[in-house]
């Protein structure tokens, strides 16, 4: 270690080298590792008024995690069915949204990656533009469309397809459409980047050997695009499961997203340790899902984020 530091300082000069090492230490330790550990520790503590913090009552407890499983003490139900349902719904829905995005984006990424021509650049430009628009505004745009007096209901009622406005928001259609919409580009670009580098001759060869189009995809393109697909899926899943804006804006009144529970613990009921415990659960389940995913696709951490 000292040798590395010595080498680093010699390479960059003592003063810039020291500043940079300091910054990296601050970033990794002070911004990444310690806050996470601090949150983890905090999630095991009881919710105390400020005067009792550090006092004899400030001990570690499993209370906050128990709450997620069993609900309030002396509650009528055996399990905290409300919160648990929200949790599993979030995970399952996030997985479904990821799958939906993958199915939707794969053909586009393949087309963009394997077609030559000037119009590809225009299409790529068109893809990037929505990504620059604020997340809140994108959710808002969908709300205009799916709202009770929105465009979609206007069309449905106007053309006589339906005689009463359909409540897309209460039925969560708006939420799923919004979540799928929000992170769609993070699915396209990784797959596109990989497919672009696929040699067309491989596809030609497969075709010449008589493979039908679906087998070309199954045997040539998808195995090649594995890294792109897995990194796209990872990003979309993590972002969807951790989304807060879209559920707040597009979610129905009766259905919550797990992040909204966390938000409520922090902002409405100001039970921070409880919220921290939920955040830890979210983080851990996301990590487990991603690791399972990387195992499934046989990719390593270094391949993600390419």
Does residue number 103 form part of the binding site for other proteins (CB under 8 A)?
no
Does residue number 18 form part of the binding site for other proteins (CB under 8 A)?
no
Could you tell me the smallest distance in angstroms from the CB atom of residue 16 to other proteins? 5
Please tell me the number of Cα atoms within 13 Å of 7 on its side-chain side.
4
Please tell me the number of Cα atoms within 13 Å of 169 on its side-chain side.
21
68, 187, 225, 286: which one contacts other proteins (CB under 8 A)? Answer: 286
Does residue number 16 form part of the binding site for other proteins (CB under 8 A)?
yes
Residues numbered 107-136 forming contacts with other proteins, rule: CB under 8 A = 107-108, 111, 121, 123, 125-130, 132-136
- Considering beta carbons, is residue 97 or 238 the nearer one to other proteins? 238
Residues numbered 56-95 forming contacts with other proteins, rule: CB under 8 A = none
Other C-beta atoms closer than 10 Å to the C-beta of 277 total 26
Q: Is 131 exposed, middle or buried (0-12, 13-18, 19+ CB in 10 A)?
A: middle
Does residue number 144 form part of the binding site for other proteins (CB under 8 A)?
yes
User: Are residues 257 and 264 in contact, defined by beta-carbon separation less than 8 angstroms?
Assistant: no
With b meaning 16 or more CB within 10 Å and e meaning fewer, what string describes 119-129?
A: eeeeeeeebee
Positive or negative CA dihedral for 196, 198, 202, 206?
A: negative
- Considering beta carbons, is residue 4 or 78 the nearer one to other proteins? 4
- Considering beta carbons, is residue 84 or 108 the nearer one to other proteins? 108
Does residue number 289 form part of the binding site for other proteins (CB under 8 A)?
no
- Considering beta carbons, is residue 74 or 253 the nearer one to other proteins? 253
* Residues with Cβ within 8 Å of residue 301, at least 6 apart in sequence: 294
Does residue number 301 form part of the binding site for other proteins (CB under 8 A)?
yes
Q: Is 204 exposed, middle or buried (0-12, 13-18, 19+ CB in 10 A)?
A: exposed
Could you tell me the smallest distance in angstroms from the CB atom of residue 58 to other proteins? 11
Does residue number 236 form part of the binding site for other proteins (CB under 8 A)?
no
Identify which of 124, 126, 226, 242 has the alpha carbon closest to the alpha carbon of residue 182.
Answer: 242
- Considering beta carbons, is residue 77 or 269 the nearer one to other proteins? 269
Q: What residue ranges in the chain does DSSP mark as E strands? A: none
263, 264, 297, 303: which one contacts other proteins (CB under 8 A)? Answer: 263
Q: How far apart are CA 112 and CA 187, in angstroms?
A: 13
Does residue number 11 form part of the binding site for other proteins (CB under 8 A)?
yes
Does residue number 44 form part of the binding site for other proteins (CB under 8 A)?
no
- The piece of 58-66, 191-199, 222-230, 298-306 that touches other proteins (CB under 8 A) is 298-306
- Considering beta carbons, is residue 130 or 222 the nearer one to other proteins? 130
Does residue number 238 form part of the binding site for other proteins (CB under 8 A)?
yes
Residues numbered 174-193 forming contacts with other proteins, rule: CB under 8 A = 181, 184
User: Are residues 191 and 105 in contact, defined by beta-carbon separation less than 8 angstroms?
Assistant: yes
- Main-chain dihedrals φ then ψ at residue 224, nearest 5 degrees: -70, -40
179, 243, 256, 299: which one contacts other proteins (CB under 8 A)? Answer: 243
Does residue number 211 form part of the binding site for other proteins (CB under 8 A)?
no
Does residue number 217 form part of the binding site for other proteins (CB under 8 A)?
no
Does residue number 296 form part of the binding site for other proteins (CB under 8 A)?
no
Does residue number 142 form part of the binding site for other proteins (CB under 8 A)?
yes
Report residue 71 as tokens. 């609900």
CA-to-CA dists, residue 305 to 26, 193, 199, 299, 301, angstroms: 23, 12, 22, 12, 8
């Amino acid at each position: 270690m000292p040798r590395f530091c010595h080498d680093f300082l010699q390479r960059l000069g003592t003063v810039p080298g020291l500043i940079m090492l300091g910054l990296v230490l601050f970033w990794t330790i002070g911004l990444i590792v310690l806050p996470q550990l601090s949150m983890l520790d905090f999630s095991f503590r009881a919710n105390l008024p400020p005067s009792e913090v550090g006092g004899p009552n400030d001990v570690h407890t499993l209370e906050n995690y128990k709450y997620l499983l069993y609900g309030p003490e002396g509650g009528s139900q055996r399990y905290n069915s409300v919160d648990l349902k929200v949790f599993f719904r979030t995970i399952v829905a996030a997985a479904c949204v990821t799958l939906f995005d993958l199915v939707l984006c794969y053909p586009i990424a393949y087309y963009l990656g394997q077609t030559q021509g000037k119009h590809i650049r225009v299409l790529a430009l068109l893809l990037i533009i929505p990504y620059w628009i604020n997340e809140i505004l994108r959710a808002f745009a969908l709300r205009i469309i799916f709202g009770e007096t929105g465009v979609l209901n206007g069309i449905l009622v106007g053309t006589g397809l339906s005689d009463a406005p359909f409540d897309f928001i209460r039925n969560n259609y708006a939420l799923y459409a919004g979540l799928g919409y929000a992170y769609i580009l993070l699915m396209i670009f990784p797959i596109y980047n990989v497919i672009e580098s696929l040699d067309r001759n491989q596809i030609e060869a497969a075709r010449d050997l008589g493979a039908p189009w679906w087998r070309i995809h199954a045997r040539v393109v998808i195995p090649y695009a594995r890294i792109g697909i897995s990194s796209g899926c990872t990003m979309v899943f993590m972002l969807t499961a951790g989304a807060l804006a879209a559920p707040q804006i597009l979610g129905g009144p009766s259905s919550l997203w797990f992040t909204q529970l966390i938000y409520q613990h922090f902002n409405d009921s100001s039970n921070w340790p409880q919220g921290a415990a939920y955040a830890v659960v979210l983080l851990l389940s996301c990590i487990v899902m991603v690791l399972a995913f990387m195992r499934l696709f046989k990719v390593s951490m270094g391949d993600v984020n390419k």
